[in-house]
């Protein structure tokens, strides 16, 4: 089904869209590999509506960073969905290792994903993971994902991903498409 005019957003974005982008969700980032095939990975991101900028923290050796460095000025897409509600933001992506920009990306990541909120089922403070616990408690909510343990790929269980992020991917958004927002 093609996108209708009402599905393509313009600035300023409606309040409902800004609210959806502020909610804690995981999204996907799509970049292109050097051979032109799409590389789609789950990411956490922050949205700066005033600057129309997405920030994604990354390690300098990650595939997504290498894809963008191999093709300066290339475009990327970030898609966030919850049920039938979705939004895709597209724009030109850059990678920065500038300490101030990396620090701003980290600050915004922490603000969005690490602020306390009640854990489902107990009403008490939690870390945004399902269940009652935080990292390393061995119980529900410890982030386990099968035999890999913590769902963090090659990262060691118990390590903080913030420590491995030396770069920030910034996507200057110029196109926004959504449904049911």
Mean pLDDT by 10 residues, the chain (181 residues): 58 92 94 97 95 95 96 96 95 96 94 70 43 35 34 49 84 94 86
Q: Which helix (H) or strand (E) holds 69?
A: helix 63-70
Rounded Cα distance, 92 and 72, in Å: 9
Give the global pTM: 0.73
Whether 57 and 168 have beta carbons less than 8 Å apart is answered as yes
pLDDT digits (tens, 9 = 90+) for 122-135: 444 444 433 333 33
Task: Report CA dihedral (123, 124, 126, 130) to the nearest 10 degrees.
Answer: -30
Which among 135, 128, 108 is positioned nearest to 54, based on CA atoms? 108
Write down all domains in the chain, each with its CATH number in brackets.
5-116+160-179 (2.30.110.10)
pLDDT digits (tens, 9 = 90+) for 85-122: 999 999 999 999 999 999 999 999 999 888 665 555 54
What pLDDT, on the 0 to 100 scale, is given for residue 147? 34
Cβ–Cβ contacts within 10 Å for residue 125, how many? 10
């Amino acid at each position: 089904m093609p996108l209708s005019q009402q599905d393509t957003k313009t600035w300023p974005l409606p309040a409902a869209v800004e609210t959806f982008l502020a909610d804690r969700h995981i999204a996907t980032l799509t970049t292109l590999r050097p051979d032109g095939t799409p590389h789609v990975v789950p990411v956490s991101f922050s949205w700066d509506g005033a600057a129309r900028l997405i920030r994604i923290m990354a390690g300098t050796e990650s595939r997504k960073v290498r894809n963008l460095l191999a093709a300066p000025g290339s475009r990327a897409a970030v898609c966030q969905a919850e049920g039938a509600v979705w939004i895709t933001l597209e724009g030109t992506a850059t990678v920065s290792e500038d300490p101030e920009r990396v620090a701003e990306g980290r600050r915004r990541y922490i603000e969005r994903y690490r602020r306390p909120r009640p854990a489902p089922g107990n009403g008490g403070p939690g870390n945004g993971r399902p269940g009652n616990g935080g990292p390393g408690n061995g119980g529900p909510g410890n982030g386990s994902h099968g035999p890999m343990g913590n769902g963090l790929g090659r990262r060691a269980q118990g390590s903080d991903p913030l420590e491995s992020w030396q770069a920030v991917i910034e996507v200057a958004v110029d196109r926004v498409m959504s449904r049911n927002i």
